[in-house]
Structure formats: C-alpha cells, structure tokens
A = this chain, B = another copy of it.
C-alpha cells in the first residue's frame, strides 16, 4: 500500500486492481453492478467491465441470473475456505470463541487489519440473545476502537510506523495520537492482558468492547479477538472484571492449542 510499491516495476497493477474489485463487495450488498464497483474502487468503468468479465469467467464472481448484478462466486468460496483451513488457528478458535460468546453474552469477533481499518473477519453470536449490530465485512476505524488500539499496541516499532504511514490522513490518526494510543494499549496488555479503550475516544458511544491480540505463527501480523456489546449489557466494570480476563484466558487457551509460547501477546516492548 505504500505508494512506492505501486510504482515498483515488480507490482502487477492489473492483479491489484482485480483484487480490489473483489474487496469492494460487502456481505450486506445484494449484488453489485459495474457502475457501483467503479464508484467504490475509483477505477474507470471500462476497466471494471473487463475485470468483472475476467473474474466472472473464472468463477470468482456470479451473475445469479443473466444481466443481474455481480455477486461473489463459488471460486471465491473455495479460495476463502482454503485460507481458513491453511491458517489453522481460525478453525481452532471457533469453538472457543462460540463458548466465550455464550458465556459472556457478548458478540465475539475476529478482526484483521485491512489498510487503515480493522476488518471483521468472523463473528460468534451468543445463542438465544439478540445482538445484531456488527457483521462480517464491516470495517472499524483504527483509532477509536478497542480492536484498533489493541493492534497498535501489539505491533512492532517498524510495523507501527508503517501502519501510521499507511493510515496517513485517516480519521484523526496522527502520529502523536497514535503514539499515545499505542503506549496506553501496550501498557494495558502488559498489566492486564487485554485492551479496553477509554470511552472518551470511542468512535461510537453505543459499543463497549475488550480486545486481545493474537500472534499466529502463520501470519506476519497479529490478529485481534474482541468481545463487544451495548454499554447497558457490558459496563466498563464488567469488561475489566469479567469479560476481559475471560477473553484473555480464551486466547491463551488458543495459544496452548497451537503450541506456541503464551508470551507472544506482547512483543518488542
């Protein structure tokens, strides 16, 4: 994503553009037309037309019916499940996180960094409890979400610098603010093992959340596990006393299952 890379002789523009077309889709979309894709990606219509043709002919996109809008196709399903199966902690975490969601009655999430946003990759809803607010595909801002702060706090110094550079100009995440948030998150991780952001900073006052980073051996970057709910169901106090520790314990259990040292949550302090 650094501009330098995009002009690198080695960077295959067409491939990057094609993938950005795929990334334009959200689960809440009921199909996407070329025009909408063009708007979202900023690519010219004719280019999008050729890319969708390609993706469609390879099965990554679908017209459900002739001349309908495009939808994610079977090949994408295959690719994605391949990835989930390869990155083994994803499958292993599922039962643990479902149990956690049930026990704490919170929405439990797995997020990864996507550019300068935190992208929800998987959710586990507590059974028999309504909690329909965040979905796979949503992107939370870096600054102002517990997940984002947890990521900043668990990044190495280099990783952090690069991230701030990437996010340049994005929603008030300046270098100074970033540093402050990072220090705070690091501090919380060391002392208590989880991150609860100051409600003052929250991007949305209706969401309270606790976050814990996880370093997979398979991935070069940490991912974030989070528990969240509306403030009335999840007070600050309960986050600190109950949900935070439980989330933390769950991630440690996952680390144990994966056979990695438990201290990997905090690195290069």
List residues of A whose CB falls within 8 A of some B CB: 1, 5, 8, 10-19, 22-23, 25-27, 29, 49-51, 53-55, 57-60, 62-65, 71-87, 90, 112-114, 119, 121-122, 135-137, 217-221, 223
Contacts and interface: CB of A to CB of B under 8 A. Distances in A.
A219 B62 contact: yes
A235 B78 CA distance: 30
A60 to B, nearest CB: 7
Contacts of A83: 72, 76-77, 79-80
Nearest to A84: B80
A58 B217 CA distance: 19
Contacts of A8: 53, 57
Contact of A19 (B49, B60, B84): B60
Nearest to A19: B58
B119 A50 contact: no
B137 A12 contact: no
